[in-house]
Structure 1
Amino acid sequence: MKHISILVPKGAILASLEGSRQLLTQVNGFFAMRGEGPVFTVELVGVTQETQASGGRFTIHADTVIDKVAETDLIIIPALDGDLQQALEDNKEFIPWIVSQYNNGAEVASLCLGAFLLASTGLLKGRKCATHWMAANDFRKMFPDVELVTEKIITDENGIYSSGGAFSYMNLILHIIAKYAGRETAVLAAKVFAIEIERENQSSFLIFRGQKDHEDEPVKQAQEFIENNISDRISVEELAVKFAIGRRNFERRFKKATSNTPIEYIQRVKIEAAKQILEGGRKNVSEVMYEVGYSDTKAFRSVFKKITGLSPMDYRNKYNITFS
């Protein structure tokens, strides 16, 4: 039987905490219906027996506290709410316990913004991690030694898991159920809880927001120039000349400041504009393509799908608000 410790941090988002508990305990229910014993022991584990959540609106009663858990098989860190720097300070007592348990063979999973607490342990250094796309810039700034993969729904690397934004935590829990209790059980859980199984990509949900929380003023001006001239074809050479910086130096500074190369930034800005047009209007794909500065249909479709995971037509069909 696998022992699972769902942490109860201060500022936990209840949906991910209680949702995970329900999914995992339901697995035991499935086995009981077949006359078999439980596969999971699921405990809520806090630093203290009672913890405030959702801005003090709720009090969570933990089953036990970390000092009393000598050994566990899986630690689940739920999503955090509010100011993340403060949340890390409020929950720093978990960190040595998580590290100790991982070094003793436990696996660790973070859900959505729980990735910030997981990254604070140092266990993610040099590894891939997913989190909510809205927090991507803050995460990269705070944990530059972690490879953030904003497009991923889940990551699974050397006993460390993470999930993307919001309710994508359900896909990670299903992934864990499949590993621990078998794919058949995970499929059954997906059906019972009406979860779309095997989603791998959250790119179509992303809203690109350029990283501007930096001190490189010429790069910031270049970002604004790109954003204000979406319909133009802008080259890296043109930007370097315009802001009087050698091309190689410009590319290096731009990547350091924004976490994107200039070409990536130009593409993301244009595709974000294309997405907004496809969502809110009735223009066809060719009209949208020209409006955001592309003249090659194949290139536009290729870049669009690379960034969003969908073709322009599929994206419009899925998200357009004017179509009935």
Structure 2
Amino acid sequence: MYTVVVLALPDVIAFDLATPIETFGRVRLPDGRPGYRLVVAGHEPSVQAGPLRLAVGEGLDAIERADLVVVPGRNDPLQPSPPAVLSALRVGAQRGTRIASICVGAFTLAEAGLLDGRDATTHWLAADELARRHPAVRLNPDVLYTDNGSILTSAGASSGLDLCLHIVQRDYGVAVAADAARLAVAPLHRPGGQAQYIVRNRATHRTSTLQRAFSWIEANAYRDLTLADIAAAAGMSVRTLTRRFKDETGQSPMQWVSGVRIRHAQDLLESTDHTVDRIAAQTGFPTTSNFRSQFGQLLGVTPGAYRRVFRPQPSGSREGPPGPPGVAVARDLRSRRR
């Protein structure tokens, strides 16, 4: 049996804290024995978790007995972590203890120096800030989780469940992990990555010198556009337009157009029953195959797979079990960002 220590840090996100407790706590081996022993630990006897006040079972010395330490995210991940927690994580890592983060819990691992030179991910909304604060981390915001052997990270909300199921499969094999996934009413492996949840190419900086171009592209992305068209609408030369797009967005103007078209296609996949062919034509892609190719390259899933995740099924639908509980949270987050 593996011992899993879940850290309850000040201001912990209750969802992130509960995910490993529920997932690992319900794992049963073929003979009926539990697969994991769960411990909730911290450096304070109780912590605030949003509107909840939670008692903490053990102190940080529990990490010494852990096979796996899980670090949930905190509501404000930019607040410094308690030094005692960082020290305990470093000691655990030096001893070879597996350490995993959920969502913005990656900030705590990065603060402890455990992600330097390693692949990592976090919630896409926080990815830029993590990269800015910790440039030595090899950040990949598009994946659902990363596994460096002893150090693991996951993206937002439901990705913590993906990571926990991945760990169960590592520890006990596919059959036990599949049973755990069925208990969670979740797929053992979700198609694609975090890329399908990212709200792309929506200009939010009203002071941008490209605001005129952004607005025009938003209204005209369905058309067969050229660089000259965009430059004329923006009132600048093609050369200036290209330079400013690179400086302000890190993309070329046509890459930006493609991102806007993909976002418009996401909206139609979520809100209509239009065919993929029709959506490709409505959003400005020259062919359906071009649309499918660009959609897959940018989001990591097919248009059909994306629709199955994000388009609610009619009441009483029999098209399969609901997705991971965090999918609804991710969808709400995307809506609030629009």
Per the normalisation by structure 2, the TM-score is 0.76
SS at 2:185 equivalent: coil
Q: Match for residue 42 of structure 1? A: 38
Q: What value does the CA root-mean-square deviation take over the aligned residues?
A: 3.5
- Amino acid across the alignment from 1:171: D
- Conservation of the 8 A alpha-carbon contact between 1:211 and 1:259: no
- Conservation of the 8 A alpha-carbon contact between 1:74 and 1:108: yes
| 1:72 pairs with 2:63 | no
Give the Cα–Cα distance (whole angstroms) in 2 for the partners of residues 7 and 262 of structure 1. Answer: 45
How far is the alpha carbon of 1:262 from its aligned partner?
Answer: 4.8
Give the Cα–Cα distance (whole angstroms) in 2 for the partners of residues 261 and 128 of structure 1. Answer: 27
Larger deviation, residues 156-165 vs 132-141: 132-141
Q: Match for residue 181 of structure 1? A: 172
Residue 297 of structure 2 is aligned with which of 273, 281, 306? 306
- Conservation of the 8 A alpha-carbon contact between 1:75 and 1:107: yes
How far is the alpha carbon of 1:8 from its aligned partner?
Answer: 0.4
Q: Match for residue 284 of structure 2? A: 293
Give the Cα–Cα distance (whole angstroms) in 1 for the partners of residues 132 and 164 of structure 2. Answer: 28
How far is the alpha carbon of 1:77 from its aligned partner?
Answer: 0.8
- Amino acid across the alignment from 1:155: T
Change beyond 3 A, Cα 1:255–1:77: farther
SS at 1:84 equivalent: coil
How far is the alpha carbon of 1:173 from its aligned partner?
Answer: 0.8
Residue 270 of structure 1 is aligned with which of 241, 248, 261? 261
Q: Match for residue 100 of structure 1? A: 91
Change beyond 3 A, Cα 1:193–1:226: same
- Conservation of the 8 A alpha-carbon contact between 2:12 and 2:74: yes
- Conservation of the 8 A alpha-carbon contact between 1:305 and 1:311: yes
Change beyond 3 A, Cα 1:100–1:322: closer
How far is the alpha carbon of 1:228 from its aligned partner?
Answer: 4.5
Larger deviation, residues 213-222 vs 64-73: 213-222
Q: Match for residue 15 of structure 1? A: 15
- Conservation of the 8 A alpha-carbon contact between 2:227 and 2:238: no
Give the Cα–Cα distance (whole angstroms) in 1 for the partners of residues 286 and 184 of structure 2. Answer: 45
* Number of residue pairs the alignment of both structures matches: 313
- Amino acid across the alignment from 1:202: G
- Conservation of the 8 A alpha-carbon contact between 1:3 and 1:73: yes
- Conservation of the 8 A alpha-carbon contact between 1:208 and 1:269: no
Give the Cα–Cα distance (whole angstroms) in 2 for the partners of residues 10 and 301 of structure 1. Answer: 44
**What are the Cα deviations for residues 269-299 of structure 1, in whole angstroms up to 9, with x where unaligned?**
2100111123223544344323322223321
**Higher RCO structure, 1 or 2 (CA under 8 Å, sep 6+):** 2
- Amino acid across the alignment from 2:289: K
Change beyond 3 A, Cα 1:165–1:236: farther
SS at 2:296 equivalent: helix
- Conservation of the 8 A alpha-carbon contact between 2:228 and 2:238: no
Q: Match for residue 161 of structure 2? A: 170
Give the Cα–Cα distance (whole angstroms) in 1 for the partners of residues 101 and 87 of structure 2. Answer: 16
Give the Cα–Cα distance (whole angstroms) in 2 for the partners of residues 68 and 283 of structure 1. Answer: 54
- Conservation of the 8 A alpha-carbon contact between 2:4 and 2:36: yes
**What are the Cα deviations for residues 16-39 of structure 1, in whole angstroms up to 9, with x where unaligned?**
212311322333xx24x8275x55
- Amino acid across the alignment from 1:165: G
Per the normalisation by structure 1, the TM-score is 0.79
Q: Match for residue 77 of structure 2? A: 84
Give the Cα–Cα distance (whole angstroms) in 2 for the partners of residues 176 and 63 of structure 1. Answer: 23
SS at 1:89 equivalent: coil
| Superposed counterparts of 1:1-324, under 5 Å | 1-27=1-27, 30-31=28-29, 34=31, 39-54=35-50, 57-67=51-61, 69-70=63-64, 72-81=66-75, 83-85=76-78, 88-89=79-80, 91=82, 93-203=84-194, 205-210=196-201, 217-218=208-209, 223-224=214-215, 226-234=217-225, 243=236, 246=239, 250=243, 254=245, 257-258=248-249, 260=251, 262-316=253-307, 319-320=310-311
SS at 1:109 equivalent: strand
Return 5+ residue gaps in structure 2 as ranges.
Answer: 316-338
SS at 2:153 equivalent: strand
- Amino acid across the alignment from 2:53: T
Give the Cα–Cα distance (whole angstroms) in 1 for the partners of residues 174 and 137 of structure 2. Answer: 30
Return 5+ residue gaps in structure 1 as ranges.
Answer: none
Identity value in percent: 27
Change beyond 3 A, Cα 1:205–1:301: closer
- Conservation of the 8 A alpha-carbon contact between 1:131 and 1:162: yes
Give the Cα–Cα distance (whole angstroms) in 2 for the partners of residues 84 and 256 of structure 1. Answer: 28
Give the Cα–Cα distance (whole angstroms) in 1 for the partners of residues 62 and 153 of structure 2. Answer: 25
Give the Cα–Cα distance (whole angstroms) in 1 for the partners of residues 149 and 247 of structure 2. Answer: 28
Give the Cα–Cα distance (whole angstroms) in 2 for the partners of residues 261 and 96 of structure 1. Answer: 44
